[in-house]
Amino acid sequence: MTDNNGKAKIIFIGTADFGLPAFKALIKDGDFEIVLVITQPDKPIGRKQIVTSSPIKIAAEKNDLIILQPEHIIDIKEKISLLKPDLIFVAAYAQLIPEEILNLPKYGCLNLHASLLPKYRGSAIIQAAILNNDEQTGLTIIKMDKGLDTGPILAQTVVSIGKEDTAGTLYDKLSAASPDFTITTIKKYLAGKITPATQNSSQANYAKELTKSDGLINWSKPAINLERFIRAMNPWPIAWTWWKGKQVKIISAQSQPIEINSYKPGKTFKYNSGLAVQCGQNALIIKSLQLEGKSALLSEDFLRGHEDFIGNMLG
């Protein structure tokens, strides 16, 4: 099961900060040796396009680990093979790993996935759980196969979804739940105490990768659906709408819609000291928003500088 020093030789593959807690736990655990870290190439980030390393690379450098950043992971197949890893562990890598590499480690490749598979395969899995009003989601560790999130399940752990959770806060909750779950599952698996369970693909849902346009609000939908939509799109791509040819980001809305159906969907009106928008069913109180090129503001503060926002149609 292990090399001569009694430690399991692991290659860690990941990019986003979602995988950081699990990665750091593996580094600290005395039963494992991280023999290689594979992450995406450095890339320009933000308006100034500053070339930036991935969070996983930064953590790996602090721990003096060997790092490779291939454009295509298949290009380093031979280097991976020469290391003779016991296991490859993958968390939020953002690149499909070919079968030739999945078959290299003695115990295969495991993947940390942010949903309770087979529900929500794909990319926007955290957003999907909020959009569908799920009360819980969780983490799954699978043994990877050539399909997308289709491999047999080793273990799962449940994480509750709060009424105020955004995709961002839920992302953090799931990430924070990963260290103990990862360590426990890997140790049980390498000890032969876990029998991988085949997924029931008939129960699977696929959540495609989101684009900026996916955040456009359709005000004809019920307010209760749009409140979930706004939370699911936060922090990216952020729910947005048009006003006088400019984009307005809707950062947050009140969780409980108000039973007003007096206007056309998309019509803005004042409610108490704040802002509300008529939806296809009931109206939504907007808590904070951001006009294109400006800072995000509470609705009361926004209206002080944009009184003409009231009585307009958003679209």
- Tens of pLDDT, residue by residue over 77-110, are 999 999 999 999 999 998 899 999 999 999 999 9
Averaged pLDDT for residues 207-235: 97
Domain spanning 8-207, CATH class? alpha beta
Name 14's Cβ contacts closer than 8 Å, sequence gap at least 6: 23, 37, 38, 39, 54, 56, 90, 91, 92, 93
> Sign of dihedral through CA atoms 289, 291, 293, 297?
negative
Percent of the chain past pLDDT 90, that is, above it, reads: 96
pLDDT at residue 3 greater than cutoff 60: no
Report how far Cα 114 is from the mean position of its chain's Cα atoms.
7
Count the residues in the chain: 315
- Distance in Å from the first CA to the final CA of the chain: 59
Structure token digits, residue 201: 């693909």
What are the tens digits of pLDDT across the range 16-35?
999 999 999 999 999 999 99
- 219 pLDDT higher than 80: yes
Please check the confidence at residue 123 and state whether its pLDDT lies above 80.
yes
Domain ranges of the chain: 8-207, 212-309
Q: Residue 2 pLDDT more than 70?
A: no
The contacts of residue 146 (CB under 8 Å, 6+ apart) are 98, 99, 102
pLDDT, average across residues 297-302: 96
- The CA-CA-CA angle for residues 233, 230, 254, to 5°, reads 150
Instruction: Tell me the mean pLDDT in the region 228-248.
Output: 97
Compute the radius of gyration of the chain from its Cα atoms: 23
Share the mean pLDDT of the chain: 96
Q: pTM value?
A: 0.95
| Average pLDDT, integer, range 226-249 | 97
The residue whose two tokens read 């926004």 is 302
- Residue 45, pLDDT score: 87
Q: Beta strand pairing status for 50-52 and 87-91? A: unpaired
Rounded to 5°, the CA angle 94-156-190 comes to 85
Domain spanning 212-309, CATH architecture: Roll (3.10)
Q: How far apart are CA 278 and CA 219, in angstroms?
A: 7
pLDDT of 94 reads 85
Mean pLDDT of 207-219: 97
**Does pLDDT of 4 surpass 80?**
no
Span 149-154, average pLDDT: 97
Strand partners, 247: 242
